[in-house]
Amino acid sequence: MTPAARLQAVIDLLTEIDETPRPADAVMSAYFRNRRYIGSKDRTAVAQMAYAILRRHARLGWWIERGGYERPTPRARVLAYLLLEENRNAGVVLEMFSGGKFAPARLTDDELAMVGKLESHTMDHPDMPETVRVECPDWAEAAMRASLGDRFGVEMEKLLEAAPLDLRINPLKANQQSAIKALAKAQITAETTRWSPLGLRVKGRPPLGSVDAFKDGLVEIQDEGSQLVALAVAPKPGHQVVDFCAGAGGKTLAVAALMKNKGRVVACDVLDKRLKRAAERFRRAGLHNIEAHPLTSERDPWVKRHKRKFDRVLVDAPCSGTGTWRRNPDARWRQLGPGLEQLLPLQANILDSAARLVKPGGRLIYATCSMLHDENEAQVEAFLQTHHDFVVKPVAEVWAEEEAGAPPVEGPYLRLTPAKHDTDGFFAAVLERRAEETVSQESVSDVGVEQGEVDPVELGKAIDA
């Protein structure tokens, strides 16, 4: 492809992302899958520019408005990016937007006027508001400032960077050093991660799909922070474990591997198709201690039937995803799922329901990929106020039990941030159910039929017990 043709592909791709109610990475994957004639180098160049523009959404929009243009269309964003980030001059831009074969159409008068106003500027400007400079959307600003305090600026700036490529070794098939050697055979450079004893950080963005170490299940793609959440579950061989919101199965895989293929892991989710896709990952990893169980909702009757049966219950709750903005920059601006006002009661309901599965002495692990206090500490505190039979198990104690080295955080919870830990933003709380309970400590949901209801027969049995 010519440079001009690549620009047109970027414009087309950004248009599809704007118009398709799916995450940008999924839209991008479909875009290239339907255009197999685009070579690998061209795909890389187009994808890199598209992501670079998505990461500068607010700043480009601010400049476009300042340039007097009507709205930040994909064409306008590409033009502004060329001028402000790549420092192209107006003459070069005009040549690229020539209207020739495969090239973008010629500039309109309004676009020409905007180019004239933006030429010779850079992306930064002293008049640019902080929230624009750090790409913080209006809906998240107050909550992010409240959660991050005086670290708001430094954490938000770190979220502007592209996330590194992390792998998790499969301890059933490899260790860190043997996996590094296997990757080296494919000319892939990797080094051990700082915090996770199972992690590798890869240099660059090599295509892993054709690499033997990946195809043979020696390694899986998983952010180091996500690996640490799985370590916080601290599963033991022979345990009975539930991954209550398994999704694509990344943490399920990690937990099952830590159990050395012994015991049972039940991967649950309300999206049956995601569980079916995850099954291929389970097979590739050589794990046979995982079973998938779709749920109709967080209050599925299966939960009541398996009350107090499991040693570990992981709740990787649906959340705002603010901790993943490095790898999902479009998520800042496009609400493709429930908003925060819907997520908070949903998280509380999921946590309450999943708690019923935990046996006395077992643990409930609540996790999110959010950096917001309301979705993290506040949810745990509210849960503990109504579930007096659970207590917090500090992260340091879990790490000591697992002999995992120095814990990555101080305090009771696992709270990871991009600037402090160079991981995605994650939160996890380990909550242990007391081995000796009294009925007065039990929550209504533990003996209830459905949320807000109590079966008097069941309640009477509990009291008699």
Binding residues: 269, 316
Nearest-angstrom CA–CA distance, 169 and 285: 10
CB-CB contact of 260 with 445 (8 Å): no
Q: Which helix (H) or strand (E) holds 199?
A: strand 199-202
Q: Which residues are 168's β-sheet partners?
A: 199, 220
HEC per residue, 108-154:
CHHHHHHHHHHCCCCCCCCCCCHHHHCCCCHHHHHHHHHHHHHHHHH
Neighbours of 222 (CB within 10 A): 21
Closest CA to 198 of 162, 156, 169: 169
Output b/e per residue, 382-409; b: 16+ Cβ within 10 A: bbeeebebbeebbbeebbeebebeebbb
CB-CB contact of 78 with 64 (8 Å): no
Find the distance separating the first CA and the last CA of the chain, reported in whole Å: 74
Nearest-angstrom CA–CA distance, 324 and 462: 43
Per annotation, catalytic residue among 136, 245, 268, 369: 369
Q: Which residues are annotated as a binding site for S-adenosyl-L-methionine?
A: 269, 316
Catalytic residue flag (residue 245): no
Q: Which amino acid is at 391?
A: V
Nearest-angstrom CA–CA distance, 147 and 376: 10
Helix, strand, coil shares, percent, the chain, to 5? 50, 15, 40
Tell me which residues are annotated as active site: 369
